[in-house]
């Protein structure tokens, strides 16, 4: 990263890489450089992703597919999102994502800096402790299997809005 006054330039391949075993998220922007927004670039190999349906109490996320195709779990169904697609997930909405293709994929994750703390801590913990990590960050695993209808179902599952998928070129 190159600092230019109070600005920062993060070159390709730079950032803080986190190994999750399901892909490789790299924190591009976040504390201490910025306390208002976080940006993560994530490489998803075939079969990779965060397939565990989950939701966040007060964390909004935006995903932008840079390369390949990624499926997002929205309103209980897997929705394909090719490069150029933007996915908005409001707080309280069960979601997940996966690369179900035979080709690598990449996306940006844009959200508040607290999301970066969650991702970083997941990288430091074994998978059997991930539910605890989520709880510490006001996030929760949903009951049931991926692909089931989650919104408004199950103990403690949120209800309300559904995640929205906006293909490139879509306005409105």
CATH number at residue 160: 2.60.120.10
In a domain, 68, yes or no: yes
Q: Is the dihedral of CA 19, 44, 50, 11 positive or negative?
A: positive
In whole angstroms, what is the distance from residue 44 CA to residue 167 CA? 20
- Indicate the SS3 state at residue 15: coil
In a domain, 7, yes or no: no
Please give the structure tokens belonging to residue 122: 């997941």
In a domain, 171, yes or no: no
Q: Is the pLDDT of residue 158 over 50?
A: no
Q: Is the pLDDT of residue 164 over 70?
A: no
In a domain, 104, yes or no: yes
In a domain, 80, yes or no: yes
Whole domain around residue 86: which residue ranges? 12-166
In a domain, 3, yes or no: no
In the sheet where 49-56 sits, what is the strand order?
77-82, 69-74, 95-98, 49-56, 139-141
* Whether pTM exceeds 0.85: no
Report how many domains make up the chain.
Answer: 1
Q: What percent of the chain has pLDDT over 70?
A: 83
**Residue 119 in contact with residue 25, Cβ under 8 Å?**
yes
Q: Is the pLDDT of residue 165 over 80?
A: no
- Which residues make Cβ contacts (< 8 Å) with residue 127, sequence separation at least 6? 21
Cα(first)–Cα(last) distance of the chain, in Å? 35
Compute the average pLDDT of residues 46-74.
Answer: 96
Q: Is the pLDDT of residue 79 over 70?
A: yes
In a domain, 29, yes or no: yes
Q: Is the pLDDT of residue 139 over 80?
A: yes
In a domain, 6, yes or no: no
- Indicate the SS3 state at residue 47: coil
């Amino acid at each position: 990263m190159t600092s230019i006054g109070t600005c920062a330039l993060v070159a390709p391949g730079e950032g803080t890489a986190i190994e999750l075993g399901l892909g490789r998220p790299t924190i591009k922007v976040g504390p201490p450089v910025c306390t208002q927004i976080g940006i993560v670039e994530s490489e998803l190999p075939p079969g990779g992703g965060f397939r565990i349906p989950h939701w966040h109490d007060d964390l909004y996320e935006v995903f932008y597919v840079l390369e390949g195709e990624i499926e997002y779990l929205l309103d209980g169904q897997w929705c394909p999102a090719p490069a150029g697609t933007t996915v908005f997930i409001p707080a309280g909405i069960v979601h997940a994502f996966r690369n179900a293709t035979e080709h690598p994929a990449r996306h940006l994750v844009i959200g508040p800096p607290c999301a970066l703390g969650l991702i970083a801590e997941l990288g430091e913990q074994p998978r059997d402790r991930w539910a605890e990590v989520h709880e510490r960050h006001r996030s929760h695993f949903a009951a049931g299997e991926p692909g089931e209808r989650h919104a408004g179902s199950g103990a403690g599952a949120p209800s309300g809005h559904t995640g929205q998928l906006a293909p490139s070129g879509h306005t409105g």
